[in-house]
Amino acid sequence: MTQKQLRRIDTALPGVWVVEPVVHGDARGWFFESFHVRKYAALGIDAQFEQCNVSRSARGVVRGLHYQWPNPQGKLVSVLEGEVYDVAVDIRRGSPTFGRWEAAMLTADNHRQLWIPEGFAHGFCVVSDAATFMYQCTALYDPAADAGVRWNDAAIGIDWPVAEPLLSDKDQASPFLEDVPPDKLPAYSM
């Protein structure tokens, strides 16, 4: 019998990966490791998490596109309840994929996670009645470094699954990517 293994699915954005954990289940329910330092390092996610956050949002809520600069955060995100359309955007100055985005459906049923490395903006849209979302972050939240890019920036062109989202005042006022001063964006390094 073949043992299932933790799996990394590459996306079109180098370094942004979907992670499929091994889920053990039976009539009683299920169990999986949401993080294991050695196993995730073998996938390429060599992270030390400093902070873990949980949010709950209603259908149609869009949160993002958020990032920190300086003091960037890598994020391993997942859904504990419900379903979200999760998005990462490359905002690294000089990157060959600058301004490009990738999305994944993360649900409580598929147990998938999305790894968003430092240098990327992150956002999500709730597509179920509600969703409980978990963020494991590689750096502490730094209010002075808190930044964002407009969720509906036409130059990025994210195909959100909602026409009129529920947004925070902060997210409604975020600048378009072209209007962010270069020193307020991370730099690409190979």
**Any idea what the CATH number is for the domain that residue 149 is in?**
2.60.120.10
Residue of 67, 111, 135, 141 with catalytic role = 135
- 76 within a domain of the structure (yes/no): yes
Quick one: how far is CA 118 from the chain centroid? 11
- 152 within a domain of the structure (yes/no): yes
Q: Exposure string (b/e) for 83-107, b if CB count within 10 Å is 16 or more?
A: bbbbbbbbbbeebebebbbbbbebb
pLDDT of residue 130: 98
- 183 within a domain of the structure (yes/no): no
pLDDT of residue 3: 65
- 125 within a domain of the structure (yes/no): yes
Domain range for 104: 7-21+49-176
- 158 within a domain of the structure (yes/no): yes
φ and ψ at residue 64, rounded to 5 degrees: 125, 180
- 42 within a domain of the structure (yes/no): no
Tell me if residue 36 is catalytic: no
Instruction: Tell the burial category of 148 from Cβ atoms under 10 Å away from its Cβ (0-12, 13-18, 19+).
Output: buried
What is the number of structural domains in the chain? Answer: 1
Tell me if residue 135 is catalytic: yes
- 41 within a domain of the structure (yes/no): no
pLDDT of residue 2: 57
Low-confidence ranges of the chain (pLDDT < 50): none
- What confidence tens digit (pLDDT) does each residue in 76-101 have? 999 999 999 999 999 999 999 999 99
Phi/psi class of residue 157: alpha, beta or left (left: φ > 0; alpha: ψ in -120 to 50)? left
Quick one: how far is CA 80 from the chain centroid? 14
Residue of 24, 36, 66, 141 with catalytic role = 66
- 2 within a domain of the structure (yes/no): no
Q: What is the pTM of this model?
A: 0.95
* Whether 148 contacts 168, CB under 8 Å: no
